[in-house]
Every structure is written in structure tokens, then in C-alpha cells.
């Protein structure tokens, strides 16, 4: 297991937002975290990133994963879009967590940043300023930055929020490729249950009731039936291509 959460309690400023959260993440999983607004999804993600401490329970990392080896793509609303830096500089900054006390990037890290930009098909923008790009292009830059921080796990907080349908579909396909071709574990917060169920292998539903299991188990659960009744006829399994 890469991540094991046991009886986890999350919150901030002394206020508990959600408790009794239990789930596991194995290498190569594609976990989507869904639930109503204000249910604690983003608070959980910040806790997984060690940006805030658990208020109870535990988070255990295994399978050679360290807490500083998790790449993070935040919500667009939390990103300053007027960075004066070049896109290459922003992508390269994803290597900072590995530099410890070093002040300069190595040739290997620069090569890694360029390869990440090539993989996400944005290397043609490497010398341009971040603020000159469209919202979808900026998200690719920030995803490339997250890739420089990890080869193991990516945490994505509503990565397609505010993007148009075409760019949204392209972003989902890029993330899918990272999962299926690179074997990178994906943990994604999504407000779009339809897309979550299209791509995910596992679902963590947070609310008054908490559910964790495979996509099929979720669809057959009471909470899953409640929230997917209007979607079920259109959900296609990514593996076999059949309706679930």
C-alpha cells in the first residue's frame, strides 16, 4: 500500500470537518474523491500533503513512498495567474523539494522539467511567461510542475474547474495517460461525478456517510445509487468498454 488512512479526522482552526475516514491507495490506483461542497475534500487533500496535521487517526505511507514525493496540482482559484516567471522556470520549481539545501538546479533536473513539458505537449511555451497562457495551458504547466515533484503519486484538486469542455476532455486524457502508461497513482478531487466514474478505479465519497471502494462497489452501494441514479445508463467501463 502507498497510503493507508485509519480513522482519520480532518479539520482546521480547531474545528473538525470530517472524521472516521478510512481508505487505502495502492500503486497505480486512480482514486476519485467526491462529495458535496464543504464536505471536507480539500481539507483531506491538504492533510495528505502534510500542509496541516490530522486532528485524529493516522496516515501511513508505504511501498517506498515519502510524504515529500507527492506531486500536487491545486485548484485554479488558488493559483496566481500573473506569475512573471517563464513556464520552464515554473515547471522546474517542482524539483525544489528534492534540492534540500542546494540553491541551483542540476542538469538532470532541467532535463526532467523539459521532458515533462514535452510529455504534456507544452515545450513550445517554455520561454513564454505563464500569464500569457490560456487557462488550459496554465493547468498543463502546473501539471508538468507536479510531475517534477514525483514519479509516484499525483494529487489533483479539481484540475478541470473553469475549463471549457474540449480542454476538460484533453486534461482528463493526459491524466489517464500518466496513470495507465506511466503507472503514476492518481488521487483526484472531482465535482463531476460522471467523469469521476468514467476514469476512476476507486471512489472515496465524503459526506454525512463515507464510502470507499471500487467503482463497481460504489455503483452498487446505497450511497452510490443515490448519487448516480441519473448517470448509470451512460457510465462506461474504461477497461472493457461495456456499460456498468
**Over 80: is that where the pLDDT of 124 sits?**
yes
Share of the chain above pLDDT 90, in %: 62
Q: Do 27 and 3 meet the contact criterion of CB atoms below 8 Å apart?
A: no
Of 92-101, 183-192, 224-233, the least confident: 224-233
More confident residue, 102 or 232: 102
Mean pLDDT, residues 169-183: 93
Topology at the third CATH level for domain 1-65+152-244 = Rossmann fold (3.40.50)
What would the pLDDT profile of 38-54 be if each residue is shown by its tens digit? 889 999 999 999 989 99
Measured from the Cβ of residue 137, the count of other Cβ atoms closer than 10 Å reads 18
Of 45-49, 74-78, 82-86, 165-169, the least confident: 74-78
Q: Are strands 56-61 and 70-73 parallel, antiparallel or unpaired?
A: unpaired
Name the helix (H) or strand (E) containing 225: helix 222-228
What would the pLDDT profile of 177-205 be if each residue is shown by its tens digit? 999 999 999 999 988 888 878 899 999 99
Q: How far is CA 79 from the centre of its chain?
A: 15
Of 66-80, 88-102, 144-158, the least confident: 66-80
Share of the chain above pLDDT 70, in %: 89
Mean pLDDT, residues 159-175: 91
**What are the structural domain ranges in the chain?**
1-65+152-244, 76-151
pLDDT at 58: 95
Given CA atoms 172, 157, 129, 165 in this order, what sign does their dihedral have? positive
Confidence band of 221 (pLDDT split at 50, 70, 90): very high
**Over 70: is that where the pLDDT of 231 sits?**
no
Confidence band of 101 (pLDDT split at 50, 70, 90): low
More confident residue, 241 or 38: 38
Mean pLDDT for the chain?
88
DSSP string for 114-158: HHHHHHTT-GGGTTSBGGGS-HHHHHHHHHHHHHHH-SSEEEEES
Sheet containing 15-25, strands listed edge to edge, beginning at the edge strand earlier in sequence: 15-25, 3-12, 56-61
Amino acid at each position: 500500500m502507498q497510503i493507508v488512512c485509519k480513522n482519520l479526522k480532518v479539520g482546521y482552526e480547531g474545528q473538525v470537518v470530517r472524521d472516521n475516514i478510512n481508505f487505502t491507495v495502492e500503486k497505480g490506483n486512480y482514486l476519485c474523491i467526491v462529495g458535496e461542497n464543504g464536505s471536507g475534500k480539500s481539507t483531506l487533500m491538504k492533510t495528505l500533503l502534510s500542509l496541516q496535521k490530522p486532528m485524529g487517526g493516522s496516515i501511513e505511507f508505504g511501498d517506498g513512498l515519502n510524504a515529500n514525493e507527492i506531486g500536487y496540482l491545486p485548484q485554479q482559484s488558488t493559483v496566481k495567474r500573473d506569475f512573471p516567471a517563464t513556464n520552464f522556470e515554473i515547471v522546474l520549481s517542482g524539483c525544489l523539494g528534492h534540492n534540500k539545501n542546494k540553491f541551483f538546479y542540476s542538469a538532470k533536473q532541467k532535463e526532467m522539467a523539459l521532458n515533462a513539458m514535452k510529455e504534456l505537449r507544452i515545450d513550445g511555451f517554455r520561454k513564454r511567461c505563464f500569464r500569457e497562457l490560456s487557462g488550459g495551458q496554465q493547468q498543463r504547466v502546473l501539471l508538468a510542475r507536479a510531475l517534477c515533484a514525483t514519479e509516484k503519486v499525483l494529487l489533483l484538486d479539481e484540475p478541470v474547474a473553469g475549463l471549457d469542455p474540449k480542454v476538460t476532455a484533453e486534461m482528463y486524457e493526459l491524466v489517464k495517460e500518466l496513470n495507465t502508461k506511466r503507472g503514476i497513482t492518481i488521487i483526484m478531487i472531482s465535482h463531476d461525478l460522471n467523469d469521476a466514474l468514467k476514469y476512476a478505479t476507486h471512489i472515496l465519497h465524503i459526506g454525512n456517510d463515507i464510502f470507499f471502494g471500487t467503482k463497481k462497489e460504489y455503483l452498487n452501494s446505497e450511497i452510490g445509487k443515490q448519487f448516480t441514479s441519473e448517470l448509470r445508463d451512460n457510465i462506461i467501463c474504461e477497461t472493457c468498454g461495456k456499460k456498468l
